[in-house]
Copies of this chain bind each other. A is one copy, B any other.
Amino acid sequence: MSADGAARGLALEARAASRALVALPGAVRAAAIERVADALVARQGVILEANALDVADARRDVAQGTLSAALAKRLVLDPPKLALLADGLRVIARSDDPVGRVLRRTELAEGLVLRQETSPIGVLLVIFESRPDALVQIAGLSLRSANGVVLKGGREAARSNRALRDVIALALAPEVPPGAIGLVETREDIDALLALDDVIDLVIPRGSSDLVRHVQQHTKIPVLGHAEGVCHVYVDAAADPGKARDVVLDSKLDYPAACNAMETLLVHRDVADGLGASLVDALRDAGVKVYAGPRAAPVYGLEAAADLHHEYGDLAAAVEIVDDVDEAIAHVHRYGSAHTDAIVTEDPGAARRFLDRVDSACVFHNASTRFADGYRFGLGAEVGISTSRIHARGPVGVDGLLTTRWKLEGHGDTVAPFSQGVRAFTHRPL
């Protein structure tokens, strides 16, 4: 079959599986996930065998310089890792059923009751890189939310992913059709899937900015993800110096490559010489290459930043001086990516102004930008971080895999009597 035909077939199977999942009681869906957890441990032999082949190939590629050692390391599965993944699945299985939650109930008129309930989106396409762990987590979240999913993993993990998928599919039988968790392996498959905006409801690219950008540019399907994180920390005139130092260093140094790491430090002009200079020094002492905006460059004697809209994603950052909180807000709006931006200040008015006006998914006061994360936010498993303003924004938990349906129950009700003024709407919240 052609890649196009095969892709459509997988997506349609995922749609049918989602409908089968919705028809199952939540307890049955949960039990299926527990069976998958058990199978990951009970059938680890076949998984580890496949993984060993992937790892051997990866080590060869590392030796030949065609693969990074870090990437090869992330590929490795072992019994403790599988046990941890199984535990993660059990947590998902034992969480409250996200499907069929009643969000709103309204009596439209006497004897006519409307409710809005959560329901699965339908068919997800999740593209992830390298780590085969991700396959298990995504499968768990998709099953819990009754979505069908088509997965595309990294080429390096192809055999591991296939083994994991087979173990999962077998554990899901007989209630859950194997098409609930589809797997594709080639770039051609992905291109074919990205064209299926009539069957696939949401694409979640989990990986590099390049991957996200590529996906966004090559599909009409809605994309949940973030192509870039140009995050700011603004140190106000009224900042506590200790808090400023803690927040700035943690925001840049905790994990410099993360999307929620600080890329630009903004400093109020009144503290540019004292606190600002000491923050720049502290960053440089920690090994951060600091570039400067036009106004900060002469003050700190730093190399000019080529572009203030830039994600270094590394031990590097920019610094710029601003007149006040309003100029900081304007800078964030002009150069930021609406991901996560923070203010450090003891002035409640300035904090409020920043939090109310900065138009980003996450806006923080006296806290590190690194808190912008589904786990830290308490959302449970993280589906991703979205900089879209539609559907889901910021760190996204399982809620991001849900939509709603409206259910109306009546007694043969028709609209004509309402139009004629014979019956009246009550619109009473229940």
Contacts and interface: CB of A to CB of B under 8 A. Distances in A.
Interface string A397-430: 0000001111111111111101100000101000
A279 to B, nearest CB: 13
A416 B254 contact: yes
Interface string A351-392: 100011101111111111011100011100000000011110
A403 B360 CA distance: 11
B403 A390 contact: yes
B22 A357 contact: yes
A365 B121 CA distance: 22
Contacts of A138: none
A356 B357 CA distance: 42
Nearest to A255: B415
Interface residues of A, number: 73
A394 interface: yes
Nearest to A412: B243
Given A220-B220, A391-B391, A378 B106 contact: yes
A243 B409 CA distance: 13
A405 B393 contact: yes
Nearest to A402: B389
Contact of A361 (B363, B367, B405): B405
A71 interface: no
A302 interface: no
A359 B19 contact: yes
Interface string A118-161: 01011000000000000000000000000000000000000000
A427 B378 contact: yes
A201 interface: yes
A70 interface: no
A242 B19 contact: no
Contacts of A344: 412
A177 interface: no
A179 interface: no
A38 interface: no
Contacts of A222: 222, 388, 390-391
By Cβ-Cβ distance, the 4 closest A-B pairs, closest first, are A243-B412, A250-B414, A367-B410, A378-B427
16 contacts: A18-B359, A23-B356, A100-B356, A106-B378, A121-B389, A222-B390, A222-B391, A243-B412, A250-B416, A254-B415, A363-B408, A366-B410, A370-B415, A376-B425, A389-B403, A390-B390
Interface of A: 18-19, 22-23, 100, 106, 108, 112, 114, 119, 121-122, 201-202, 216, 220, 222, 240, 242-244, 246-247, 249-250, 254, 333, 344, 351, 355-357, 359-368, 370-372, 376-378, 388-391, 393-395, 403-416, 418-419, 425, 427
